[in-house]
Amino acid sequence: MNDALRQDSDRQRAQRGFTLLELLTVLALISVLMGIGVGAFRKLNPGRAMAVAQVKDALRSARLFALEQSVTSRVLLDATENVIAASGIVAVGDWHFETEDGRGWPVNARFDGGASVQPDGAIGRCVVFPPSDPGTVRLGRGPAFDFVAGMRIEAFVRVGTEAAGNIVSKGEAFVLAIGPGRTLKGSVLVSGRKSGETAEPLVVASTEPLPVDRWVRVGLTHDGRSLKLWQNGVEVASVDDQEKRSPMPATDAEILLGSVRPTFVGAIDEVKIGSFVTQQAPPLPEGVRLSAGGDVWFDARGRLDSRFHTKPVTITLVYDEESRMREITVSLLGEIQ
């Protein structure tokens, strides 16, 4: 009898279903589990992961290029366009002037007028352009010298008090010259501001005079965004091209050292010519942006270039949806974290 009553009571309780307290407990557990799932999904946001990967890939590519080519490389962070571009400089010409036949790479130099190889160079021997008949030195032409992404020109130069004329030039495509008061000036021919417009020179000039009768390393670089002058590895002048116009190669012109009008008198040594190559990634995914623009430079050893960086570099990605940030750090040794 008692067993029958107990079974009947159990049957009635099962038919009654869940109590209100039990339902509320189940709903609370479900909400907690859903919250955990949403949080995990946000952490696994593919757009954010892709943005971090893009930045790290660009940094690693530039560093690896610097190590493999033993050259300087750069990562450009464009906060306006929200893009990242890795670029490096490939050597396309090198002349040391240690032999009288002007042996160099990719072609030997050819001497016109009184220009000739003489002792007392910056390193070993050099090319001297005498006042009586300075002449020029021809370094050839070719597709390697038709710079389409940018270029770098470096040379040691020694001049007198009344210095003038071109140091290195390629028609109007680019000119590294000595301006009034022994100052450096440079120009690069770039495309017109609008389609169909005539190409025009982008010009930069320094204010510091070159030293007299002393070797100094000078340089001109154009990376498609700015034109800069260098003296002994230090930037002395720059101009930004807001339109980011492309250089216009002068395919028929030869690269020349020195000039006749105006006349260059002095000495030149250790000429190096490089061409920029750029690997540009697609824009960062929607909802992710760079907090600030700038450049990250690596030296030939894969470290942060000490000419531009005195402390580690931090790149900050901002997630617009939640105003959260993700930082990527490059140490002075070039380690990417």
pLDDT band at 85 (very low <50, low <70, confident <90, very high): confident
Which region among 47-51, 78-82, 295-299, 312-316 has the lowest average model confidence (pLDDT)? 47-51
pLDDT score, position 40: 46
Buried b (16+ CB within 10 A) or exposed e, 14-35: eeeeeeeeeeeeeeeeeeeeee
* Banded model confidence at residue 9, pLDDT cuts 50, 70, 90: low
Q: Give me the residues paired with residue 89 across strands.
A: 276
Confidence of residue 120 (pLDDT cuts 50, 70, 90): very high
Confidence band, pLDDT 50/70/90 cuts, at residue 335: very high
pLDDT above 90 (res 184): yes
Superfamily for domain range 47-82+283-337: minor pseudopilin epsh domain (3.55.40.10)
Name which residue leads in pLDDT, 33 or 160.
Answer: 160
Topology (CATH) of 90-278:
Jelly Rolls (2.60.120)
CA distance 96 to 272: 9
What is the average per-residue pLDDT within 90-113?
94
- pLDDT averaged over the chain? 85
Distance CA 184, CA 95 (A): 21
Q: What's the confidence (pLDDT) of residue 27?
A: 65
Most confident segment among 25-34, 188-197, 298-307: 298-307
Q: Please tell me whether the overall predicted TM-score, pTM, comes out greater than 0.85 for this model.
A: no
Q: Which strands, in side-by-side order, build the sheet including 200-209? A: 110-112, 136-138, 256-257, 165-170, 174-178, 183-190, 200-209
pLDDT at 263: 93
pLDDT in tens, 33-54: 555 444 544 554 666 788 888 8
Which of 100-104, 130-134, 148-152, 234-238 is predicted with the least confidence, judged by mean pLDDT?
Answer: 148-152
- The confidence score (pLDDT) of residue 193 equals 64
* pLDDT score of 94: 95
197-202: average pLDDT: 85
So what's the pLDDT on residue 79? Answer: 87
The DSSP code sequence of 108-169 is --EEETT-EEES--SSS-EEEE-SS---EEE----GGG--SS-EEEEEEEEE-TT--EEEEE
In one-letter notation, the amino acid at residue 241 is D
Higher pLDDT pick, 85 / 95: 95
pLDDT in tens, 232-265: 988 899 998 877 777 887 768 999 999 988 999 9
Q: What is the pLDDT of residue 116?
A: 96
**CB 132, CB 179: distance < 8 Å:** no
Question: SS3 for 12?
Answer: helix
Asked whether residue 295 carries a pLDDT value surpassing 80, the answer given is yes
Question: Residue 7: its pLDDT value, please?
Answer: 54
Mean pLDDT of 286-305: 88
Give me the DSSP letters along 154-175.
EEEEEE-TT--EEEEEETTTEE
Residue 91 and residue 272 in contact, taking contact as beta carbons nearer than 8 Å: yes
- Predicted pLDDT of residue 18: 58
Question: What pLDDT score does 41 carry?
Answer: 44
The CA R_g of the chain, rounded to the nearest whole Å, is: 32
Residue with tokens 């929200």: 82
